[in-house]
């Protein structure tokens, strides 16, 4: 409590003693009500923050899946393989690791070759479908197709 607030309460206590009033008790009750209201508001804000964080994470997962779908269309044989020598692929792999691997929706295998390292992303299609509450219809059909094509991959 600030010095001004302490002086205010001390003054109210002094008035209460001198005149037999209940000003200090009323002031403490008022401050407790304000504190309870602020705590309730904080709880509401925290719940909304959690909900928004979950929405953002789901959007990030969907973006990762759209990126993978694009890779599948352009490089059908190598769409789950990433080279560390290519900066764009390295950044993409970092994004996929941040949103899929760390969320336990995929794993990564590392293979060393003469040019460097090759990373193989292994999506867990069932976990991805379960993680997405209401995916885009096109994405949902692609996920179903991937789940059927790659049942052995996690």
Per-residue pLDDT of the chain (154 residues; tens, 9 = 90+): 789 888 888 898 888 888 888 888 999 999 999 999 999 999 999 999 999 999 899 899 999 999 999 999 999 889 999 988 889 999 999 999 999 999 999 999 999 888 788 999 999 988 998 888 766 777 778 888 887 776 544 4
pTM over 0.85: no
**Which residues of 34-154 form beta strands (DSSP E)?**
81-83, 106-113, 116-123
**Distance (Å, whole) CA 65 – CA 143:** 9
- Check: CB of residue 64 under 8 Å from CB of residue 123: no
């Amino acid at each position: 409590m600030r010095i001004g607030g302490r002086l205010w309460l001390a003054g109210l206590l002094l008035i209460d003693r001198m005149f037999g009033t209940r000003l200090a008790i009323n002031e403490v009750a008022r401050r407790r009500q304000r504190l309870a209201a602020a705590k309730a508001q904080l709880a509401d804000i925290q719940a909304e923050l959690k909900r928004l964080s979950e929405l953002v994470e789901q959007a990030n997962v969907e973006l990762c899946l759209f990126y993978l779908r694009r890779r599948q269309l352009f490089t059908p044989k190598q769409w789950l393989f990433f080279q560390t020598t290519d900066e764009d692929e390295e950044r993409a792999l970092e994004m996929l690791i941040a949103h899929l691997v760390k969320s336990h929706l995929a794993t990564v295998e590392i293979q060393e070759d003469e040019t460097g390292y090759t990373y193989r992303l292994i999506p867990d299609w069932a976990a991805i479908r379960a993680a997405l509450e209401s995916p885009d219809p096109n994405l949902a059909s692609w996920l179903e197709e991937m789940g059927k094509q790659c049942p052995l991959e996690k």
